[in-house]
């Protein structure tokens, strides 16, 4: 397989991954995210990630076999020598976009998890108001009706 074809395939896979990440972002921003849809996306992303890793390993192996140094500098030189530098740069751009989307989704997940933990803590305090919180303060106090009025 030519380097041009390999890079085009990688870029197409990265664009598919970006689409998955955009779908995931939309689900995470929804007030009631669809857990099944999130799981399906996680499975799709994992399969695609495995494919991307194996293709990248093959590309790096060919790069070294052809005598180029390992790493980005060797990859760029190999692409330039093969006349497919634009494909290499487009692949890098796609990888950067995927990285940004993935980081953003990670932040959204973190915020959602923190919110869920606060909600669970509140529910636990309601269920057992005499339990002390992590900061040592008493939880919610039971309310008593003031009958002196």
Question: What is 3-127's CATH number, 3.40.50.20, 1.10.645.10, 1.20.58.300, 1.10.3720.10?
Answer: 1.20.58.300
Q: What is the pTM of this model?
A: 0.77
Give pLDDT tens digits for 117-134: 888 888 888 887 665 666
22 and 101 Cβ atoms separated by less than 8 Å: yes
Most confident range, picked from 61-65, 101-105, 135-139: 101-105
pLDDT score at 145 = 46
Q: Is 59 exposed, middle or buried (0-12, 13-18, 19+ CB in 10 A)?
A: buried
Q: Which residue has the higher pLDDT, 138 or 59?
A: 59
Phi, psi for residue 62 in degrees, rounded to 5: -65, -40
Non-local (6+) Cβ contacts of 55 within 8 A are 6, 9, 10, 13
Give pLDDT tens digits for 23-47: 999 999 988 889 899 999 999 999 9
Return the residue matching tokens 């397989």: 1
pLDDT score at 128 = 76
């Amino acid at each position: 397989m030519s380097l041009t074809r390999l890079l085009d395939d990688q870029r197409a896979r990265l664009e598919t991954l970006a689409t998955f990440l955009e779908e995931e972002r939309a689900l995470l921003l929804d007030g009631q995210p669809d857990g099944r849809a999130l799981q399906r996306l996680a499975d799709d992303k994992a399969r695609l990630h495995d494919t991307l890793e194996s293709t990248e390993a093959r590309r790096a192996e060919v790069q070294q076999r052809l005598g180029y140094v390992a790493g980005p500098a060797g990859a760029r030189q190999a692409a330039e020598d093969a006349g497919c530098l634009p494909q290499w740069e487009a692949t890098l751009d796609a990888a950067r976009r995927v990285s940004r989307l993935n980081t953003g989704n990670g932040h959204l997940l973190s915020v959602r998890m923190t919110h869920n933990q606060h909600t669970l803590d509140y529910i636990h305090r309601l269920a057992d108001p005499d339990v002390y919180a992590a900061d040592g303060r008493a939880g919610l106090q039971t309310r008593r009706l003031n009958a002196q009025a």
